[in-house]
Structure 1
Amino acid sequence: MQTALLRDLDLARSDEIERVAQGMRQTLIEVEGEARGTAMYTLDWLRDRVRWHLDPAQARARVVLALGARGEVLAHTIFRVEGPAEARFGLISTTYVWPAHRRAGLAARLLQCAEDWFLAQGLARCCTWTSSTNKPLIALYRRHGYVQTDQGPNDLTGTLMIQLSKPLLSTEALKS
């Protein structure tokens, strides 16, 4: 199997924005079910959310794509810096691998890409929030050293959400 190319989304490419928005929608459907997943956000809102992440006035973030040999989007992840200046952390907002490309290591590569970027930003920890029912994503994060650090209901659906976190820098590195 050929290794997918990882690169940042090109904001000038509406097809890439559309593919990421569709992946975000599919994540919601897989986790919340068809009715809830499609009702939570419109595709227009999801497209705008992709653009929001890449607007420097709104966020310090990246949208990274995993591309196949013909340039097709196989997977994506969105991650950003969050929190007040004295307690900044990395947040992985969403990761989606299209079903035909799962179990090929793409999600792990995208996770590593996010962690590397967070480290380059000098962040001491990173996390993600996901539905407690999203067993494949929870297993992926646990394999990479994440532990559950919080939980609470999704404000829109009431679904139990869990936070998975990982320290990126040791306490010795933080002191230097």
Structure 2
Amino acid sequence: MKHATRRVVVLGSLALGLVGCANSRFRTYDGPEVTRIQLFKGDRRLFLYNGDRVLKSYKTDLGFAPMGHKQFEGDGKTPEGKYIIDRRNPNSLFHLSIGISYPNEADIAFAKAQGREPGGEIFIHGGRRRNIDPIKPDWTAGCISVSDREMEEIYAMVRDGTPIEIFV
């Protein structure tokens, strides 16, 4: 009986060790708080800050017609302006995603005045999926895309309520 118990403990420990080595998309982060995010669309660069210190920087893909402020549903533009990270989706079709509070009141009012919808569901999310041209940058419908591995870092580091500024 002692021998069987020891074997179970040893095998259980090995199994837990292997699970710990698995590449989990749910990473943990215990470094400095991300206090703000900035995206520079022209440079395709996303920066995570703690105060004035850059913690991480990522190359991005944007909407299929990225330049100019997103105004309407389906325009393929990535928004510009000040927003907030307001939700997360662990079951995203694009690996993981965190939501951006577009459209804000001004975005909604502008689109409504034009008789159009502002669109929405703008996220920072993981990488490309099947049937998306791997050569062509700026393939999203207006979102900000990074690699799956980078998205795992961002998902762990950024909390809901973090401000994001998106510049030209």
TM-score range for the pair, normalised by the shorter chain length: under 0.3
Name the one with the larger helix percent.
1
Name the one with the larger strand percent.
1
Which one has more relative contact order, counting CA pairs under 8 Å at least 6 apart? 2
Q: TM-score, normalised by structure 1?
A: 0.25
Q: TM-score, normalised by structure 2?
A: 0.26
Q: Which has the larger radius of gyration?
A: 2
